[in-house]
Amino acid sequence: MTLEEARLALEAGRTTSRALVETCLDRIADPAGEGPRTFVKTYADQARASADAMDTLRRAGRAPGPFAGIPVSIKDLLDVAGEPTPAGSVILADAPPAAAHAAAVQRLLAAGLVLIGRTNMTEFAFSGIGINPHYGTPLSPYDRATGRIPGGSSSGAAVSVADGMALAAIGTDTGGSCRIPAAFCGVTGFKPTARRVPLDGCLPLSPSLDSIGPLAQTAACCAAIDAILAGETWAPLPERPVAGLRLALPTNVGLDFLDAPTERAIDRAVERLDRAGALIDRRRIASLDAIDGVHARGGFAVPEAYAYHRQMLEDQGARYDQRVADRIRPGATMPVADYIALCQARPGIIAAFEAEVAPYDALLMPTVPIAPPPLAAFERDDTYRRLNAIVLRNPAVVNFLDGCAISLPCHEPGAPPAGLMLLAPAMRDRALFAIAQAVERTVTAWPQT
């Protein structure tokens, strides 16, 4: 069920918030499902009480928002008053409780949405793979007999939506953490322009790159949740035809490491957009090369994460997922001069990028170049490091550029999941949603069998 379908059903009295919540809780509790690995905490009693309250308010014509009563999950990185914020770790499981809700959580509650639970994640959000040795790893809905990674770091967020355990999820995105799991789980994930959604009450990874975004079934679903998170008034997306859209497909960044299933899915999506009248310019985007140049001596995430974790690593380093700890520790040796040079170079690269892509409505590229690998493939540390770098490569670009981006599923039914990413400069979020809706209708219109 999309959020719009749920909204209309609630308004017409064809369903209730309590019924939606009970369906989600049943799926979470299914012993054959991924619920125990997807959620680190479930708010069953509170969700039922909130749902009943929203149903009463709706009957009285006093619903606090158009999506009041809809169940959503939140990533274990966001503060809920009276609870610790473990962030997928055991180190913070017994931390002092949060004094107040995170700003994003408070906005969801004010709009009448129902919190169904806290979702699992990569420890401290520092990986694109989605593995968590402390709480288990929820599996991608694709090929569960094999058992494939969900993508990270918002792993549980994506699985909660894919399996109908929530109608939408809140994740965070520092280098692709909403979009990677969306691509690996066959749902839609959005990274907003970071300044639009307050980070208050969200445990940091890299303050220069962090953002909070939604995962849901469609672009319109993500747009609805994004409006709530950003404190904006929701309205249906304007209709944009595909014909005449100007899209740039970078040839110098994004097409490396493509596996065969993802290449087929992306080629088919681009071909459909071509046939529908989109003007796709396959070209080199020079400003994207500059990002690799300034990252040669290190990026923002490692030194900024180390600044937060330094004392905890010293005191409790053995309790970390060592794959996460090993990524943070090099922040201790990054020269301050290199970090300052990175900060100084970033605005110029962003300005050059925005000038270079000004003629286009959006850029497009694969969200990640590969289908979700089997979980068993990550027993070797060198495999983890190599594949983590591959899945972060494309989505991390837009975080550095301080832009917005969305991942749309573009694979055929039954095929390995693949995401088509659309990205745009900062503050074009609303326009990007309308473009994404048009693209989505074109690339997912499969013949009925």
Q: Measuring CA to CA, which residue among 228, 174, 182 is closest to residue 202?
A: 174
Distance (Å, rounded) from C-alpha 372 to C-alpha 370? 6
Neighbours of 332 (CB within 10 A): 12
User: Is 206 designated active site?
Assistant: no
Catalytic choice (73, 89, 140, 153): 153
Let me know: does 140 contact 150? Beta carbons within 8 Å: yes
Strands (E), 196-317: 212-216, 246-250, 279-283
Q: Which of 140, 154, 155, 177 is catalytic?
A: 177
The number of angstroms, rounded, from the C-alpha of 449 to the middle of its chain's C-alpha atoms is 31
Asked if 367 and 398 touch (Cβ cutoff 8 Å), the reply is no
The span from the CA of 182 to the CA of 152, in Å, is 9
Catalytic-residue membership of 75: yes
Strands 279-283, 246-250: pairing is parallel
CA distance 421 to 432: 11
A 10 A CB-CB count for 399 gives 25
Q: Given 75, 89, 127, 407, which residue is catalytic?
A: 75
Q: Comparing C-alpha atoms, which of 139, 5, 146, 156 is closest to residue 74?
A: 156
| Residue labelled with tokens 């402390």 | 134
For residue 7, give Cα distances in angstroms to 243, 307, 427: 30, 43, 27
State the pairing for strand pair 404-409/188-191.
antiparallel
134, 171, 188, 249 from 367: Cα distances, Å: 28, 16, 11, 12
Rounded Cα distance between 150 and 204, Å, is 22
Catalytic positions are 75, 153, 177
